[in-house]
Chains A and B, each alone.
Chain A
Amino acid sequence: MSGVNTAAESYVTDDGRTIGPVVMEMKNITLRFGGVEAIKDISFDIREGEIRAIIGPNGAGKSSMLNVISGFYVPQEGEVWYNGSRRPPMKPFQVAEQGIARTFQNIALFEGMSVLDNVMTGRLTHMKTGLFAQSFWKGKAEREEIENREVAEKVIDFLEIQAIRKTPVARLPYGLKKRVELARALAAEPSLLLLDEPMAGMNVEEKEDMSRFILDVNDEFGTTIALIEHDMGVVMDLSDRVVVMDYGKKIGDGTPHDVRNNQEVIDAYLGVAHD
């Protein structure tokens, strides 16, 4: 059904969610590491307000794809289009300044800093005061800090981590670290949120919590989310549209329902031999 919508149009899904026009489009992306092609000529788009999942078996190139979107890898071929214009090759920090926030598969938090400080780093792209004003103009720096602190506190409330606000991150258990990382990304008020396996290594209860948070974020702030996930069940429940990758190639793209009935996808997941 996504196929019948043009890029600039909004449409309403079967369960009544309004999905906006295309915000990010990957065109014929190819990424090589030496002789290895991690991503082979993949194209897909991400629409405003949707939850877009990228799934596939281990080594399919999902994380590489997320790294291309967030600027950590620069593809050898292909174009990235964002908000209607072609994005030149960018450093990750420039991508972040464009309003794209992300989390990492293996959690990349500032371990020595408190939870609050970690979340506040998510606000860095919104703090515009220069070095000298920050150092010598107490009033201005303070005002900016307070404004941004409010947003950070809102996110902390939203993700229910008030109790650990002042705790150094290094002391937190794995599941909470994942949540703090999500909080840091959310604090940036991103227009596109990238989640690399947000539920990896979690128990069932934690997975349910995380799913709920992801849905709430999307629902409440209208944040566009692209996520990578292993767990098919979770993906089917969460996402509006799914890209399926296998060995660096795209083998399926569509609603969870479409994808589930796609023979190639079933083969990839059940491990049928490739010809």
Chain B
Amino acid sequence: MNEQLAFTIEVFANGLMAGVLYALVALGFVLIYKASGIFNYAQGVMALFAAMTLVGIQNGQVPFSHLINAIFGTDLHHFGWHVHSFLAIALTVIVMIVLAWMVQKFVFKHLVGQEPIILFMATIGLAYFLEGVADLMWGSEIKSLNVCAAEGACLPQGMNVWLEGTTYEALGYGFFIDNLDIVASIVAAILVIGLVMFAQYTKQGRAMRAVADDHQAALSVGVSLNFIWVLVWSLAGFVALVAGIMWGAKSGVQFSLSLIALKALPVLMLGGFTSIPGAIVGGLIIGVGEKLFEFLIGAPFLGGATENWFAYMLALLFLVFRPQGLFGEKIIERV
């Protein structure tokens, strides 16, 4: 086997794992879009917010410390304790649930029945609001994220991908694959299976599918739309937390994290806005596609940096030839 082929396989594998992260973000979009028809522009910021909250809680940071210090003239920054990762994650989940409840209570409850574009604008507002709150709450410096189950059993860090990525021997060649990516893939797979099982086998899952299908009918069988919407925003918040942890561990918790939301857009164009498997497959295709394209065509012939636009070009092609995406529901108008 030649060197080129081995490299290609390696690029493929790395792309697959980058795709997992895109898929995670896209998944959050799909959950909310299915149940309420809201295209949640704030999903990326939610991932940022979740990751920052996690780091903040872990490090025992005082929330809103700058604000408090400015008003009361105090000098608070840290509580002086460190919170165990599991507890911190649990607390962050609670924060995300409270956030979901507040979003529903103060924003979308008042916008029921409005045009999709109005709901979309509301989520843009929400995105900037949340970004501001995150900044005010935890500060804007880049933080590194260490999630550890116990001493020495930490989520691998992604910063040093090419240096410490474990080498897997196969076919006589060494493959560089980031440990974190493998963990991320496993976590994502568990998350997706869990979500699908929840939707399929629990009472609330059935109610969720009912709401996604027909609001009026769901009301008539005794489903509270409000409860279901809080539930899906909470689930999306949870998915955002998982995505935030993975991205945070890979490249540090920083504000550019919210921009991954934009990468989720082409993923959704590919997978279809209403399909959970679509989000996964779409994410993988984009991840692999952009890495392979860069490696095989972009770098040698186009001067590189094709990763920035490849996903959008692919999405554009899909919009032209298959607007409903790979798995989306085809819209057939009967005349």
- Chain A residues packing against B (C-beta within 8 Å): 70, 72, 91-94, 96-97, 101-102, 104, 108-113, 117, 120-122, 124-125, 127, 129, 131, 134-135, 141, 144-145, 184-185, 188
Contact = CB atoms under 8 A, between A and B. Distances in A.
B210 A121 contact: yes
Most buried by B among A117, A122, A135, A144: A135
B210 A93 contact: no
Given A93-B219, A108-B220, A135-B198, A124 B207 contact: yes
A96 B217 contact: no
Contacts of A110: 209-210, 213-214, 217-218
Given A124-B203, A134-B204, A141-B201, A113 B213 contact: yes
Given A96-B220, A134-B204, 4 more contacts: A91-B224, A92-B220, A93-B225, A111-B214
Contacts, number: 86
10 contacts: A72-B219, A93-B223, A96-B220, A101-B221, A104-B216, A104-B217, A110-B218, A112-B209, A113-B213, A124-B206
A129 B224 contact: no
B4 interface: no
Q: Which secondary structure characterizes the binding site on chain B?
A: helix
B303 interface: no
A96 B224 CA distance: 10
A121 B207 contact: yes
Contact of A108 (B217, B223, B225): B217
Nearest to B198: A135
B174 to A, nearest CB: 42
A141 B213 contact: no
The 8 closest A-B pairs by CB, nearest first: A96-B222, A108-B217, A110-B213, A125-B222, A92-B219, A134-B202, A127-B203, A121-B221
A104 B217 CA distance: 8
Contacts of B205: 134
B223 A124 contact: yes
A125 B220 CA distance: 10
B213 A112 contact: yes
A176 B225 CA distance: 27
B203 A144 contact: yes
Contacts of A184: 221
Contact of B203 (A92, A101, A109, A129): A129
A70 B221 CA distance: 11
A145 B254 CA distance: 45
* Residue with the greatest number of chain A CB neighbours at <10 A, chosen from B201, B214, B219, B221: B221
A69 to B, nearest CB: 12
Interface in B197-248: 198, 201-207, 209-210, 212-214, 216-225, 231
A131 B202 CA distance: 8
A94 B226 CA distance: 12
Contacts of B218: 93, 110, 121
Contacts of B217: 104, 108-110
Nearest to B227: A93
Given A104-B217, A110-B214, A188 B222 contact: yes
Contact of B214 (A108, A134, A185): A108
Interface in B122-157: none
A135 B202 contact: yes
Contacts of A94: 222
